[in-house]
Structures are given as structure tokens and as C-alpha cells.
Amino acid sequence: MRGFVSLVGAGPGDPGLLTLRGRSAIARADTVLYDALIHPAILRHAPPHAEHLFVGKRGDESSTSQDEINHMLLLRASQGRRVARLKGGDALVFGRGAEEAEFLAAHGIAFEVVPGVSAALGATAYAGIPLTHRDHASSVALVTSREGPGKPADASGLRAVAAADTIVIFMGLRRLAADMASLVASGRDPSTPAAVIAAGTHPEQRVVVGTIADIAEGVAAAAIRSPALVVVGDVVGVRERLRWWDGAGLHGRRVLVARAADQSSATVEALVAEGAIPHEVPLIRFVGPTRPEDVAAAIDGLCAGAFDVVAFTSANGVAWTFDALRARGLDARSLGRCAVVAVGPETERALQARGVWPDRVPRDHRGVAVADAISELRGGDLRGCRVLLARAEVAGVELPQRLRDGGATVSDVAVYRTEGPTGEDRARLRALWRDGLDAVLLTSGSVARHLVEVLGDALRPIDPGVVLAAIGPSTADDARAAGLPVHVEAAEHTVDGLLAALRDHYRQGVTAPP
């Protein structure tokens, strides 16, 4: 039985640019062969059983030869396997995909070609450089600066396309000065705008802008490295108006995400979407409470109608409470006629996901504000009110004390507890701190305390380039109490609000990373 090969253009770098057809081919693959420029996130679309084979090459560095790649495809397809051959950009644009397709066809192997977003389209768009423009360019030429074995270097085709309004040169970094001289010799004005886009569509994207006459000098001064794309033409002048990806904001910022591992994925995805470079090091872990019998007693009380109000001070408290209910075959109906109070938007959303719309969400998203919300529900009189607080094992005493001072009866039940980072995560945090970070997301007081505990003296003094951003006032207070400065505090006390506050901070005149 013959197998099948999908030659997939995986896009220029940003994993979000993978096509749906490409993702489908990867999801059905038994073997994935991938190049050096394939983003690791793209490989996650492969099934668990899939074989992963790296066959990348960079310039003249030693790598898997094309002949070896061809025979790897042939061997696995001959074994009846479905193979996804992932190539950066588009498989048929300077990617040797046509050669691989010809080889497969010659050996009777069925294949398909899945087009991808070429670097010529993706990297230029992310750099804010349109290939065409009614005022500047009505023709585009794509050319490579590297030729196949045996071809002379001056056969690159640059002279033939020198008159095109926009010229995109693939693999042109090494011969940049020579190529620019070739364009001038072909009649191109040395003052024509030119740009080099390195790591296009990646968070590390860098763009150097100049002219044909000086772009090589500018690239050398900036120490630009491959992979890079060269663009020549008046359209380069539009970049400053259309620049959106690598401008001010979070692009290129190295951001520490220290939430628990099972909570960080959405934060990481949001950072990646904004061009940041997230580093995940969980500084807290959530585990079951020390006294599960207290949780069982609280559930019995709920079912017996022993409470008037249930208050949640975190989304974690919601999750652990409902996990405990589910373990006993119960659900939201166990809350009965209790009024429900949530400390803030994330806790509110966690309840709504479980079919509960809270009666009150205080405007001030501090735990102590929950007491005021409960008082409002009771018409300002807390006397005789029976309150169940479902929260962490180590929590502040101000909230239950305020309720009791008002006359309420409070059952303060620990439905979960937090533990610190593992030894491996401690080592990773210390290494990251030494290498340098731009921002740290303080999503809870526990994160702030563990940051101080792990880094110790290495924290002081904190590099002025590091921004500590707190998700809300309670976390900011905890951070300051632990000896940390807080540079940014979210107005909306959610992860989205935290990222928005950090983004605004950088856009208010803080220079972008080099």
C-alpha cells in the first residue's frame, strides 16, 4: 500500500498564518518532516503518534541533504504512511517544493501541494510594506540571491527584474552589497528606498530601512542575521504609516507569565497575538485543601439550606468548589436559594460558565469589597446573615472579620490551597532573570511573594528596564508588602485588562526593544 505526501507551505513564522488545509494535513499525518523556520506551535497539530523529523537547513550550515530528504519521503510513503512535509512560507516559492514533488511523481507516490503564505506576502505585510500601491507600485518581482549548484553568482536574475516597481529578494543577506550594486549597474536609482526584514512575522521581527546606496551599511551596523528578506522600491516609504506589528506596545517584549500552568495558556496566546515573547514559569500550583472534610461539611450545609450567601473571591475558588460538588454527583442546584457574590469579572465568568449568574459583583474588585456587596444584598443589615466564603487556604482575615463585625455568621472554608514552584521552575526563573526580562505579570499576591522568595537578593536593585504589572489593587498591595515596586496596575482587574495596561504603558513613550 502506497502512502501519501502533503507538501505544506507552513507560512513565514507566525503559527496563526498556517492555513486550514495545512492544519488538516498535519492532523492526519503519521510522519512530519519540518524545516528550520517552522514554528514549534505548528507541530502541535500533529497527532500524538506522529513521528517528527527535523530536516532543516540554514545557509551553508551542515544539514540534511535534499537527496536524503527525498528518500525519507519515499521510504515512509512506501510504508503506507501519510507524510506532512512542512516548508517555510509557500512550498513552491524558492522552497524546493517543486523538486520534491517531481521526485515523488517519478516514483509513483501520490501527493498534494498545500499553498502557504509566502514570506514575500507575510513578512512585508507584518513590516507595514505593501508590495503594490496605486501611487508607488504596479509591478512586483520575486527573485532569489542564491542559485543552484553550478550556476554563477551573477545569474541571480536581478538585472532582469531591476525595472520592476517592487523587488523582493529571498536569501539576499549574504550578497546584499553586491546585489544592490547590481541594481545600480542595471540603472536603478541609488536613492530608491530599501528595507531588510529579519525574522518576519515573529516576535523577534526587526526591520532596517534605508536606500539602495546605504542599506548594506545599515544592516551591518544593526547586526541583522538570517532569515531575512530584502525589499526594494518606493513602497518601503509607506512603512512608517502602516507599521503595526513591530511598533510600540508589547511587540518583542520578553514577558514572564508566572500563573499556574493550567491557567497560563490563554495569557500566552494573547501575548503571542500581540508579538510579545512569553516565558512560562509557574510560581504557584493549586492543590486540594488540607481539610477536605471542611469542604464536605460546607456542601452538606448548602444542600440543607444552611447559608444565605455564597461568596467567591477568585475563579479558582469557583473551580474547586464545583469540582467538589461534581465529585458528589451535585451541580449548581446545590446553591439553592443562596445569593451569590463574585469578587470580579474573571470570577463572574467562571460562575457563568457553570450556569450561575452572580447577584453582585462589586465595582472595587478587592476581596474586602465583597463584604459591602453582601451588605447591599441584605439592605445594609448583616445581622443574622449566614455566609459561606469559598476561597484559598491562606487568605486575608479582613473580609471575614468585616462580615462578623457587621453581625454575620461566617463559614470561611478553604476549598483549595497553593504551593510554590518546583525546583526545576525555580532554576528556570533564576536563569530567565539573569538573561533579562522586560515585564513580569503579577496575577496574584502569591506570585509576587514567590517571585521575591525565589530570586532573593538578585531582585535588588530591580533593573529599571523591568516593568512589574499587577492585575489589581489587592495584588499591587501584596506586591508592595513583599518589597516589590509596582509600575503598572490594571484598571480592569482581568488578564485582558492587565495586558491592556501594560500595552498602554509601553505606548506612552517607552522605547521599543532593540
The CA-atom distances, in angstroms, between 277 and each of 253, 257, 437 are 6, 10, 10
Strand partners, 228: 198
C-beta separation of 374 from 311 below 8 A: yes
Helices marked H in 359-444: 369-377, 398-405, 423-435
Q: Which three cell numbers stand for residue 245?
A: 506589528
Assigned C-alpha cell, 176: 546584499
Q: Are 53 and 102 a contacting pair, CB within 8 Å?
A: no
- The active-site residue, picked from 14, 35, 425, 478, is 35
101 φ, ψ (degrees, to nearest 5): -65, -40
Q: What is the DSSP string of 38-74?
A: --HHHHTTS-TT-EEEE----TTS----HHHHHHHHH
Q: How is residue 210 annotated by DSSP?
A: E
Q: How many Å apart are CA 29 and CA 4, to the nearest integer?
A: 9
Element (H, E) at 292: helix 292-303
- For the beta carbon of residue 262, count every other beta carbon within 10 angstroms: 10
**Residue 210 to residues 180, 193, 194, 231, 239: CA-CA distances in angstroms?**
12, 6, 5, 10, 12
Within 8 A by CB and 6+ apart from 175, the residues are 145, 146, 153, 156
Separation of alpha carbons 233 and 217, rounded Å = 18
Find out whether 141 and 161 touch, Cβ atoms under 8 Å: yes
Q: Are 72 and 33 in contact (CB under 8 A)?
A: yes
Helices (H), 47-187: 66-78, 97-106, 119-126, 158-161, 176-185
Query: DSSP states of 193-209 as a string?
Result: EEEEEESTTSTT-EEEE
| Residue partners of 362: CB distance under 8 A and separation at least 6 | 341, 343, 344, 369, 370, 372, 373
57 as an active site residue: the answer is yes
Q: Which of 57, 364, 477, 496 is catalytic?
A: 57
Q: Dihedral (C-alpha) 424, 427, 429, 434: value to the nearest 10 degrees?
A: -160
87 has catalytic annotation? no
Q: How far apart are CA 104 and CA 51, in angstroms?
A: 20
Active-site residues, by number, are 35, 57
